[in-house]
Chains A and B, each alone.
Chain A
Amino acid sequence: MAKKVISINEATIRFAGDSGDGMQLTGTRFTEATAIVGNDLKTIPNYPSEIRAPLGTLAGVSAFQLMFGSQRVFTPGDLPDTLVAMNPAALKVHLKDLKKGGTILANANAFTDKNLKMATWETNPLTDGSLDGYTVYSMEMSKLVGKALENSDLTSKGIERTKNMFALGVLFWMYNRPIEPTEEWLRKKFAKNPSIAEANITAMKTGFNYGETTEIFTTSYAVEKADLPKGKYRNITGNVAVAYGLVAAAEKAGKELFLGSYPITPASEILHTLSGLRNHGVKTFQAEDEIAGIASAIGASYAGDLAVTTTSGPGMALKTEAIGLAIITELPLVIVNVQRGGPSTGMPTKMEQSDLLQAVHGRNSDAQIPVIAAQDPADCFDCAFEAARVAMKYMTPVILLTDGYLGQGSGPWKIPDPKKLPKIEVHHPDSSARGEDGFMPYARDENETRPWAIPGTPGLEHRIGGLEKENITGMVSQDPENHQLMTDIRARKVENITKDIPPSEIHGDTKGKVLVLGWGSTHGAIHVAVDRARNKGQSVSQMHLRWVSPFPSDLKAICDNFDEILIPEVNSGQLAMLLKAELIRPIHQLNKVRGEPFRAFEIEEKINEILG
């Protein structure tokens, strides 16, 4: 019987299994194959916070979700259409999210009495009829790979471990994705151990053929290429995009890149990526703690490198005093905070947007700092580049906010032409900057920035530091007039950055009933919700802030054109608090802090509520 191929516009798949089942890898391989087909997509991983929770438990479930489609895809999808459940615990944790009537692919061999009990199932859901509302493909994956690999030299444990590749093979068949790139990838990854590579390839092909030949599968799905702008693409996570943006900025500024950092979830991949780029001249310094991470970066900046420190919330708290030092010494520095759930250690592997107020105001004294926030994984590249540019142009530290969802989630990145990236002008004064009265380290240019004079330049020897300095001369000063002046200058320097912010873009009409205003990683969910509302004829538009400090100068005028403003945030209302002070008008809030991003329907419902 010839099998049917149904054409669909989009699909959302969630891979779930035990931490040891390789779900992140399986999801990533499916993603790469999907990218190559030319679909637009977004992904999000979901790790347990324990590194090795006990096997088969609910706490040990690891998941990966992606949405792909033939149209633009802005989020990793709300509720999955298809759930891969490698064991009973995975099914228990994720079944509640599966769409009504969705598809389940399960490894029947893992549904043993012991595993069922551990996952708190009283009876086996695969056989007790409780999944009747879904399409269930219960496959004996372990047994099937065992058979396919009975002649391989792998141990039985090694063979068992290939079952994720079987599941991947089935999905490749189901969604008509090519298996060749993964074949090639496996051969490269296990170059030193070809028998493992071949076993995995066999398992994948077994899965693919299982879909193709067995009668339990009657239908596969085709998702056409998305209509993305022309160009070359690759899939990229936000953390890698930040790393690349910084490398690009350093090159475009003719600077060496220095990263001072301390490992922390979910930011460590930036450190990992950059530490592999020695041949790009990148200097990474894994410091003894978060404070030394930023302190070393401040030192490197003083000595003339493009300096960066990367962290997440608790690390930001530790860096606070040093950020103040970078502000008062007026040194360029990029501080990346990949936000996670807090306070304190909080939920390290879960996303949140709750460090906004910390970024904007979280220091002793009046200590303004520019804050830029990325809206999707690919945008992390642009924001990192922009943060570095602004830091060097305005001689100031800049905070770049991303979060665990952006950092570890991925999406296609339209690869920029390196030649077309703008050059970043950096000026270091030479000996000629020394006047009759010596060198003036706090002299000001038209943006009120001070010169970046670096050690090693003859004649410009000068001292900087955390004590208040006299404007222009840089001598230590506790004079009241001078402190007022310097405080005002530091504030104006940040305000000046509004000159570099292009006019804000509005998605939808520039006037109307509701403006959904967001920042950071909520962009995709808001976009989808606004589109759905507009399709229903509702008067709703979207504006998304990239700079959250300073605010763009057209913000107030845009807001004035709407009757109502809605701010969805994955925190308890931090942007709303800032904007109420800025706009002096009521604001509708949609807040949640559940360690997960918004789903578009949640925003849609709130829009409906406002419009009544």
Chain B
Amino acid sequence: MSETTINVQDLNLTRKDFVPGNEVRWCPGCGDYSVLANMQKTLPVMGVKKENYAFISGIGCSSRFPYYMDTYGFHSIHGRAPAIASGVKLANPDLAVWIITGDGDGFSIGGNHMIHALRRNIDMNIMLFNNRIYGLTKGQYSPTSQLGMKTKSSPFGSIDRPFNPSAIALGANATFIARALDVDAKGLQESIKRSQRHKGASFIEVYQNCIIFNDGEFGALENKATRPDNALFVVHGEPMIFGKEQDKGIIMKDNHPKVVTLGGDWTEQDLLVHDETNPIITNLLLEMTFDPKNPTPFGVLRAVDAPTYDGMLVDQIKEVTKINGKGTLEDLFYSGDVWEVK
């Protein structure tokens, strides 16, 4: 990471340092509040100076986020945050750059920028608030809305097949993919920390409830009581276990993930073990997302090392300068055939 990390004690930052004076204007009960609070809680312990954070967003409810962070912030135009943030990071690699986007902003109008930012592996953090609806424009279906969903622009049910943002991130060869739930503080904080520490483009998909236009979209996941039986929190190197009693696990059967109950025929040894670095495992987890027979996976789904674009740019500048010498205007101007008029 080109961002310099500093001893957390020396920085002496608290949550308050990241809270500006202005009023937060999301709908009461919106899932965005929890994400904001957890971001403000986590950043002080990252070892990054406050002035080195930059939050860049596009358009949508979640894209108001930078106004609610007392950091440098840029609320830009629809879909373009990853491209703007790329320029910010390349201009100043010392900055810890966060992109805040939504399912419409990041995967509809801005889909192209999203996949290329991930592919290039620019060291930035992309947080996608996936509420599977257009909130700011008051309730049209989004590219992640489920088939059949009735919205203002799909009164007879949506006939637009949705896609799975984290699977697209994997397809774009992202080096870090995590998924978290708006109401799960622990999972959010863990994702934010790991993402900020990751060298390269990080992608966090947050399942976020839009209480106004798509309340209950994440059903059993949102509820503390029913969540354990429906969510699988994966940990690198550990078997895939879930359930209120921690009694269920995932095995591989006929090339498909399958839920089994521990005790009886199955032991921990039979279960699949999570491996952040193995794209086959990540893909398998992502395939479980829409499968009602399987729990929905959360946690760090993928984390691999790869050279970053920003790092390679800095290195290339150094390398070429070493070989050719520091360029001067004189060298440049006289690089063609020169003649003199006396």
Listed in ascending order, the chain A residues whose CB lies under 8 Å from chain B are 32, 35-36, 38, 181, 225, 228-236, 244, 247-248, 251, 256, 258, 260, 277-281, 283, 285, 287-289, 291-292, 295-305, 307, 321-322, 324-325, 329, 415-416, 418, 421, 454-467, 475-476
Contacts and interface: CB of A to CB of B under 8 A. Distances in A.
B75 A464 contact: yes
A279 B75 CA distance: 33
A32 B330 contact: no
Interface in B122-173: none
Contacts of A228: 341
A38 B84 contact: no
- Chain A facing B: main interface SS: mixed
Interface stretch (B44-52, B174-182, B190-198, B249-257): B44-52
Given A415-B334, A463-B75, A303 B340 contact: no
8 contacts: A244-B332, A277-B327, A278-B320, A287-B86, A295-B80, A456-B94, A464-B74, A465-B67
Given A281-B317, A288-B113, A234 B87 contact: no
A339 to B, nearest CB: 24
A231 B88 contact: no
Given A233-B340, A415-B338, A458-B51, A292 B86 contact: yes
Contacts of B91: 256, 258, 283, 299-305, 307
A422 B329 CA distance: 13
A299 B74 contact: yes
A456 B113 contact: no
Contacts of B329: 247-248, 251, 418, 421
Contacts of A32: 336-337
B330 A418 contact: yes
Contacts of A456: 51-52, 72, 92, 94-95
A302 B88 contact: yes
Nearest to A293: B83
A465 B55 CA distance: 11
Contacts of A234: 333-334, 336-339
Nearest to A231: B341
Given A295-B77, A456-B51, A456-B72, 15 more contacts: A228-B341, A231-B340, A232-B338, A232-B341, A279-B327, A291-B83, A292-B86, A295-B76, A295-B84, A296-B84, A296-B90, A298-B76, A324-B77, A325-B77, A462-B73
Contacts of A325: 76-77
Of the listed residues A244, A296, A302, A322, the one surrounded by the most CB atoms of chain B closer than 10 A to its CB is A296
B98 to A, nearest CB: 12
Given A295-B80, A418-B333, A285 B74 contact: no
Given A36-B339, A247-B329, A466-B75, A304 B92 contact: yes
Contact of B87 (A244, A260, A458, A462): A260
B20 to A, nearest CB: 8
Contacts of B54: 303, 455
Nearest to A298: B84
Of the listed residues B71, B87, B324, B333, the one surrounded by the most CB atoms of chain A closer than 10 A to its CB is B87
A299 B334 contact: no
Contact of B84 (A229, A231, A256, A299): A299
Contacts of A38: 339, 341
B112 A288 contact: yes
Contact of A466 (B76, B116, B319, B333): B76
B86 A280 contact: no
Contacts of B49: 458
Nearest to A276: B320
Nearest to A289: B112
Given A251-B329, A277-B327, A278-B316, A455 B88 contact: yes
Contacts of B328: 418
B313 interface: yes
A444 to B, nearest CB: 21
B275 interface: no
A285 B333 CA distance: 23
